[in-house]
A and B are shown apart, each in its own frame.
Chain A
Amino acid sequence: MVGKIWSMLQPRDLELGPIVEPSWRGRDWLLKRGAEDIAWLLLDRNSESVNTLSESVLSELDECLGELKVRLPRGLILRSAKPSGFIAGADIRDFRELRDATELKARLNWAHAILRNLESLRCPTLAVIHGYCLGGGLELALACDCRIATRGASFGFPEIKLGLHPGLGGTARITRLIDPIEAMTMMLTGKTLSASKAKSLGLVDIVTDERHLRAAANAVVAAKPKRAWRGWRATALSLAPARKLAASAMRAKTRQKVRPEHYPAPYQLIELWEQEGGRREAMLKNEIQSFADLLLGETAQNLIRAFFLREKLKKIATSNPTNSDLQHVHVVGAGVMGGDIAAWCALKGLRVTIIDADRLALGKMMKRAQELFAHRLDAAAQRRDALDRLIPDFEDCGVGRADIVIEAVPERIDLKREIFQSIEPRMSDDAVLATNTSSIPLEQLRDVLHRPERLVGLHFFNPVASLELIEVVRHHLVSDEALARARAFCGRIDRLPAPVASAPGFLVNRALTPYLLEALVMLDEGVNAETIDEAAERFGMPMGPVEVADHVGLDICLDVADRLRESVESLPKAPSLLREKVERGELGRKSGKGFYNYADGKPKKISAPEPAEGIADRLLLPLVNACVECLRKGVAEDEETIDAAMIFGAGFAPFRGGPLRYATTRGAENVVSALRELSRKHGPRFAPDEGWSKLDAPI
Chain B
Amino acid sequence: MEAFTTHTGRAVPLRRSNVDTDQIIPAHWLKKVTRDGFEDGLFEAWRKDENFVLNRPECEGASVLVAGPDFGTGSSREHAVWALQNYGFKAVVSSRFADIFRGNSLKNGLLTVVLEQKVVDALWELTEADPTVEVTVDLQARQVRAEGITADFELDENARWRLLNGLDDISLTLQNEADIAAYEAARPAFKPRTIAA
Are A and B genuine complex partners? Answer: no
